[in-house]
Chains A and B, each alone.
Chain A
Amino acid sequence: MLLAWRLAVFAAALCPFAWYAWQVYSGNGGPEPGQYLLLNFGVTALILLLVTLSLTPLMKLTRWKGFALVRRQLGLWTFSYAVLHLLCYLLFILGLDFSALGDDLVRRPYIIVGFAALLMLLALAVTSNRYAMKRLGKRWKALHRMVYAALALVLLHFFWVVRADMGEWLNYALVAAFLMALRIPVVSRRLSRVRPRRGVARRG
């Protein structure tokens, strides 16, 4: 049952890639398919990051360990889409002109911020295995708190990309703010009390 759940999550996370690739293949990606993929992979990465960050609150709320089981997987998916996003940028926007990349990295704040976020996601991805967990011990948890910084940077990156209307950005920012609020200790303790751990008596 849990294996099926993990496979289902795997399949679901693959869907955006398959869908956007199909759109481009069938000519529905518009006259600038590279830009189309760039934007959609960027947004997918952000959505997956938010989904990943909703797993812990969901687990606290429901006590279903299935949510914890797919956390690493979804974190890696987030990273994968972010890498696809970067690849689109290198291939389709810069046309593999790496001197232009150097320029952008020095001069364009939104690229610097995106790059920093991606490096953080990279650090999290390579330390997401059991071996790293063991080696890092207590520091692992501290390291993985970096995901919050990455989220903030991604939102800043997105904010600087917005040209004419904040509406869409605001939706993501509100979800992010909500997920962060759930981590405030008072709130988080309440969340855990909605359905107490089995065996622990519910108090008054």
Chain B
Amino acid sequence: MLIRLRDRRTLGENDVTPEAIYHARRRFMAGAAGLGMAAALPRGALAASNYDEVEEGSGPPWFTRRFDNVAWQAVTAGADDTITPYGDATHYNNFYEFGTDKRDPAENAGQLTTEPWTVEVDGEVGRPGTFDVDQLLGEHRLEERIYRLRCVEAWSMVIPWLGVPLADLLKRVEPTSKAKFVRFQTLERPSEMPGQRSRFAYIDWPYQEGLRLDEAMHPLTLLTVGMYGRSLPNQNGAPVRLVVPWKYGFKSIKSVVRISLVEDQPATAWSSINPREYGFYSNVNPDVDHPRWSQARERRLPNSLFSPNMIDTQMFNGYEDQVASLYSGMDLQKYY
């Protein structure tokens, strides 16, 4: 099944492509030639080879096995959203387990062992268990979803993810009536994660995040295993991560090893360190500033010295039509 999540801002699936290809390739190819060549490819192949430096379809067996049956561009972004070049999306990351500099994850994450990998699903569920990624994905077809990613630091990218709706997994494990929230946990493995070895880190490892159950069940919430037509690079949260496009990036927890359904609102890594700066909900909201900077605008990356590429931040990162109803009646200034 292919979920359609369209709003007036999104385009037909073919419309986004030539421009996206153009931008992904512009650094390496003469613009016009690259555009013509790519546009001539059939759509499936085109979406997969969209991106420079990407080895199309590369990944572990559970990934390659699903690759022929991907629903390409099941969700596309807006007319002005150009897909961020792969090299930028993989070399400008906040993944503090691998260091605090934006380049550290690309440098240090290579050593992470992602096979074998298991995820424990426990708590208020009828069918708890420990699953490998193959089992986690189940029978649901992989979907490509081009989402805006808005970092709490006021920059943003546009990234084509590959994954399945988290709801599909949650339904399979049968949440009990007590399940109100979902807590997620990242791997804790200091031997492979230098950031966890630092004695001066604020974060109390392992990294934890949480969603309300209805947020977790929302069709936009993606259990993600790939991007740019390949499996996730380690620095982007291999082998499996969450992507919640209407929330600040840190909610989209990486390298998940545990998913627990719980009754009470779970503690999350950032709001435990600094509840004033990072709330539990952390929905993208241009009207609620971070205490240290404004959230009204964002720098769409890549930018250059001559054009900072500042754009207005949209309520719920532009997914307002789809998700606003989750929060009807809530004071979003208070529950930020």
Contacts and interface: CB of A to CB of B under 8 A. Distances in A.
Interface of A: 24, 27, 30-35, 37, 91-93, 95, 97, 100, 103-104, 107-108, 110, 160-161, 163-168, 170
A165 B195 contact: yes
B49 interface: no
A170 B303 contact: no
Contact of A165 (B27, B88, B201): B201
B7 to A, nearest CB: 27
B249 to A, nearest CB: 13
Q: B85, B96, B100, B199: which has the most chain A beta carbons within 10 Å?
A: B100
Given A32-B303, A110-B292, A164 B96 contact: yes
A35 B305 CA distance: 9
Contact of A32 (B155, B203, B293, B294): B155
B335 interface: no
B103 interface: yes
B84 interface: yes
B200 A166 contact: yes
A165 B100 CA distance: 7
A89 to B, nearest CB: 11
29 contacts: A24-B305, A30-B88, A31-B85, A31-B92, A31-B157, A31-B302, A31-B303, A32-B92, A32-B155, A32-B299, A32-B302, A33-B303, A33-B305, A35-B299, A92-B303, A93-B308, A95-B297, A95-B308, A95-B310, A108-B291, A108-B293, A160-B292, A164-B195, A164-B202, A165-B198, A165-B202, A166-B201, A167-B199, A167-B200
B298 to A, nearest CB: 11
The 7 closest A-B pairs by CB, nearest first: A31-B302, A31-B88, A166-B200, A167-B200, A31-B301, A95-B310, A164-B96
A163 B294 CA distance: 16
A166 B202 contact: yes
Q: A32, A108, A170: which has the most chain B beta carbons within 10 Å?
A: A32
Given A92-B308, A168-B100, A34 B303 contact: yes
Interface of B: 27, 84-85, 88, 91-92, 96, 100, 102-103, 155, 157, 195, 198-203, 289, 291-294, 297, 299, 301-305, 308, 310
Contacts of A92: 303, 305, 308
A165 B200 contact: yes
Contacts of B157: 31
Contacts of B200: 165-167, 170
B96 to A, nearest CB: 5
Given A32-B303, A163-B202, 4 more contacts: A30-B88, A35-B155, A104-B293, A165-B96
B92 A30 contact: yes
A136 B198 CA distance: 48
Contacts of B291: 108
Q: A24, A34, A37, A100: which has the most chain B beta carbons within 10 Å?
A: A34
Given A95-B308, A164-B202, A30 B91 contact: yes
Contacts of A110: 292
Nearest to A21: B305
Contacts of A166: 200-202
A103 B310 CA distance: 17
Contacts of A32: 92, 155, 299, 301-303
